[in-house]
Amino acid sequence: MEKINILTTLVQYLVFPGFLFLAVAGLFVSWADRKLAARMQWRVGPPLLQSWYDIRKLFKKELIIPEGGNTLAFICAPVIALLSIIYAGANLIMILFMQGQIFPGDLFVFLYLLSIPSVCMMLGASASANPYAALGASREMKLILSYELPLLISIIVAALKAHVMSLGLIIQFQMEHLPAIASLSGVLAVAVSMVCIQAKMGMAPFDVSEAETELAGGLFVEYSGPLLAVWKLVKMIAMIVFPLFLVLIFWAGGSLSLVVLKCAGIILIAIIARILSPRVRIDHALTFFWRKVTPWAILALLLAIIGI
């Protein structure tokens, strides 16, 4: 029986709803992102399998380790980031299919899981001993300090609505009652969370830590071959996991196809925002989150406290 449980767990995290499923879904969303951007710019865009071709090409290329840095941290950072995003995504999908299965940890544990990729980006960039990567890591750290607070406050709104801090119980409560988005405080919290998630995914206008035109790739400037492919997979899978997290925490309920449509809507908004928005300066990003987004998150929290 124990062997069967171990085998089932391995299948869940390696095949469905784990690595294989999330990777395929991420590759498709990445293609849709590039295709939509191309069509909005009157270009043809890439073929359906272009994202897969890019990842396969990188895995065939030579892996170059920079001199003077921390080799172990440089190699482990993308691997840890990939494992964390897969674990988070697989648990979200299992909760979805099992209608409120209890996640083995509270809401804050899951938020820590979603923060690990950003921390690993800073770790890997700092370990490369490259000045451009170090500057990208510095920008990423400032971004985290700016958007994590309003994101946390907005997530607490959903917890207040359900009167629990367990992720599974919050989702189960919304499946049995009205979702958090059915209130004014929930709408404000969703809007704040979507802006924060845009920065968390490293998408324009908050892609200042990567900034190819300024930092030649920033965080990933020293990465090549398979390790760069792993980073690209992390970013692709994040485009699935973060929108799904928002849907389940604020807008759970309905059929599976309806949940997919909700996720697709959030992904579409994020892609359009990336295409239409110019990159902001890091100081402007900090000012935006601290002075404009955070007050709205606090207002949503106050409204949730008084039951609006």
Which range among 106-110, 141-145, 156-160, 272-276 shows the weakest confidence by mean pLDDT?
106-110
Question: Average pLDDT, whole number, for the chain?
Answer: 90
Q: pLDDT confidence of 150, banded at 50, 70, 90?
A: very high
Q: What pLDDT, in 10s, does the model give residues 209-251?
A: 988 777 777 889 999 999 999 999 999 999 999 999 999 999 8
**225 is written with which tokens?**
């071959």
**Domain residue limits at 100:** 2-305
Omega prior to 104 cis, within 30 of 0: no
- Kindly state the average pLDDT of the residues 282-290: 94
Give DSSP secondary structure letters for the chain: -HHHHHHHHHHHHHTSSSHHHHHHHHHHHHHHHHHHHHHHTT-----TTHHHHHHHHHHHSPP-PPTTS-HHHHHHHHHHHHHHHHHHHHHHHHHHHTTSPPPSSBHHHHHHHHHHHHHHHHHHHHHTT-HHHHHHHHHHHHHHHHHHHHHHHHHHHHHHHHT--BHHHHHHHHHHS--GGGSHHHHHHHHHHHHHHHHHTT-TTS-TTT-HHHHTTGGGTT--HHHHHHHHHHHHHHHHHHHHHHHHHHS--S-HHHHHHHHHHHHHHHHHHHHHPPPPPHHHHHHIIIIIIHHHHHHHHHHHHTT-
The pLDDT assigned to 98 comes to 66
- Model confidence over 128-140: pLDDT tens digits? 989 999 999 999 9
Token pair of 152 as six digits: 């946390």
pLDDT range class, residue 4, cuts 50, 70, 90: low
Q: Convert the pLDDT of each residue in 72-99 to its tens digit.
A: 999 999 999 999 999 999 988 888 776 5
Has residue 2 got a pLDDT over 80?
no
What value does the mean pLDDT take over residues 143-149? 94
Give the alpha-carbon dihedral of 207, 213, 214, 216, to 10 degrees: 90
Q: How far apart are CA 102 and CA 144, in angstroms?
A: 28
Structure tokens at 291: 């002075």
pLDDT tens digits, one per residue of 11-24: 888 888 889 999 99
Number of domains into which the chain is organized: 1
Residue 198: pLDDT band (50, 70, 90) is very high
